[in-house]
Amino acid sequence: MNPLSQAPGPVITIEGIVIDVIVHREPKAASEPGVPEFLEHGAMIDTGASDTCIDYRIAHALKLRQIDQRTIGTVGGPIQVAVFLGVLEIPQLNFKGLDRFFAPKIERINYSVLIGRSVLKEFLFTYDGPANVCHFARPQSPPDHDDFAS
Amino acid sequence: MAELDMSEAISAYHAQRPRLLQEHGPSWVVFVGADFKGSFKEFDDAASFALEKFSAAQFLIRHTEEHIPHVPLVVVEAA
């Protein structure tokens, strides 16, 4: 049975596995000269990732607050990463919420943001391989995210 | 931007984690330094609490039952 057939709301289809996201500073963060309030990037949908991962340069550019430091498992073995707090917005999915971002220090990257299961758990999600499209739907009505307006 | 040394809060987290798990169940916990400040079922609630109460301080937010996070596509480059 297709789980999306049970969705109470609309099914949103994304071409490919990259979706536009906006990484914001934490709510009510004090404005600083030269520090943008948000940055826009293309994010790869990665079901193998447990959490959201960002290029450490995004965390530095936005001066995100560090809230942890962890060892994470990667293809190349375990590495130490700083964990930052911010707001992740995915406009196409009407998603916006506080999130923690794992930010490994790697110089060469293909994608600046990886969206992992910590975000995907909010959705019914399927990948249609032959068509190379992703389908998203909310399992229930989305919450109001106006609290995060900065 | 240098990364912070959060060893004091992390040590306190590990020392208190068994008790916190017993008292609060699996949850997101907030530490400021070595001091436990609160326990929440959702990350969003823990982060909102920490930002409201301890905005000027350095705080740790971690889950008491979390396994090692995995981001396989992060490939560590050879030195």
pLDDT tens digit sequence for A46-56: 998 999 999 99
Whether the pLDDT of residue B67 is over 90: the answer is no
pLDDT band at A72 (very low <50, low <70, confident <90, very high): confident
* Interface predicted TM-score (ipTM) of this complex, two decimals: 0.89
Q: How far apart are CA A87 and CA A2, in angstroms?
A: 31
The 10s digit of each residue's pLDDT in B5-61 is 899 999 999 999 999 999 999 999 999 999 999 999 999 999 999 999 999 999 999
Buried b (16+ CB within 10 A) or exposed e, B10-19: bebbeebbee
What residues 41-70 of chain B have any CB closer than 8 A to a CB of chain A?
Answer: 43-44, 47-48, 50-51, 55, 58-62, 68-70
pTM over cut 0.95: no
- Check residue B64 and give its pLDDT: 96
Distance CA A147, CA B48 (A): 10
Higher pLDDT, A29 or A108: A29
A150 confidence band (pLDDT: 50, 70, 90)? very low
Interface contact B74-A50, CB threshold 8 A: no
Q: What is the C-alpha separation between A115 and A28, in angstroms, rounded? A: 24
- The Cα A76–Cα A87 span in angstroms is 28
Confidence of residue A6 (pLDDT cuts 50, 70, 90): confident
Q: Inter-chain contact B74–A104, Cβ cutoff 8 Å?
A: yes
**What mean pLDDT comes out for the span A57-81?**
91
Tell me the nearest-neighbour CA distance from B75 into chain A, angstroms: 5
pLDDT value, residue A5: 79
Q: Please provide the average confidence, as pLDDT, over all residues in chain A.
A: 89
Give the one of A26, A67, A102 whose C-beta lies nearest to B69's C-beta. Answer: A102
